[in-house]
Structure 1
Amino acid sequence: MHRPKAQTAALLASPEDTEQQFYEALQHADMQRLIEVWADEEDICCVHPGGPRLIGLAAIRASFETLFAQGALNVHPERVRKLRSGDSAIHQVLERVQVGGADGRQQAWVVVTNVYLKTAQGWRLVVHHASPGSAQDLPDVADEPATLH
């Protein structure tokens, strides 16, 4: 599927630009903007918390249309850890999600891996994998450095 991307290509000059556009699209329920951050590849993949693996743009679009039918998503990326090598980048993100419920506004956490690929049209999202999190996910558990300085 070919989409016009000239308008956003300049905005997607880095994985960070693409990630910012992705989260802004979620926060504004902007389907066009959301779709523009995805790569034009058959095997792009999205997994929502507790959901199935969605392969391809049509399946991903349908899932976000369902989510956006309930309004914008109050999702904020926090504690982003980044790994970049050549034309690919992996961002490990802790998302803070604000949800309204019977008890008022509540907060949920989602642990996410976003994978970006540098294409001729700029950096594009190729994988968004989200898993349910909890307040216990806030502290990072990491290996201690092997050498002391």
Structure 2
Amino acid sequence: MRIPFRVALTGVVAAATVLVGPTTAHATPPGPGVSGRVIARTTVGDTDYVLRELTVPPGQATGWHYHDGPVYAVVRQGTLTHFDSTCASDGVYPKGGTIQEPAGPGYVHLGRNLGDTPLVLDVLYVLPHGAPFSQDAPNPGCPFE
């Protein structure tokens, strides 16, 4: 089941694949070494579908953010510890785990790598055409970034 999910993510964007070099993850503020690489992208109507590999080094975080469209991810390596704006963990996702993030500023969140190996995610962004991968958000008052 885990491999078909990744294949399905890739298939959604495979129609018009564009390979792009490394980019920096967008969040407030991402930890040192957090990076992203676009694997594929396509636009259908007013919606951009972007498949991206996101890497979070041990002890680092994505920064507080939200997305303008839904996001779907598979943990390829490591463990994702996910926090919502109440500062509570709303999920821990080991290798092979899947996560879905709803859209909008009402879902501010942060991903952390609390493990000792790099966290690697395959992420499908379903965004309004031209929207950034994420929108910066201030720390909602949590004792961590």
Using the size of structure 2 for normalisation, the TM-score is 0.31
Bigger-Rg structure (1/2): 1
Using the size of structure 1 for normalisation, the TM-score is 0.30
Higher RCO, 1 or 2 (CA under 8 Å, sep at least 6)? 2
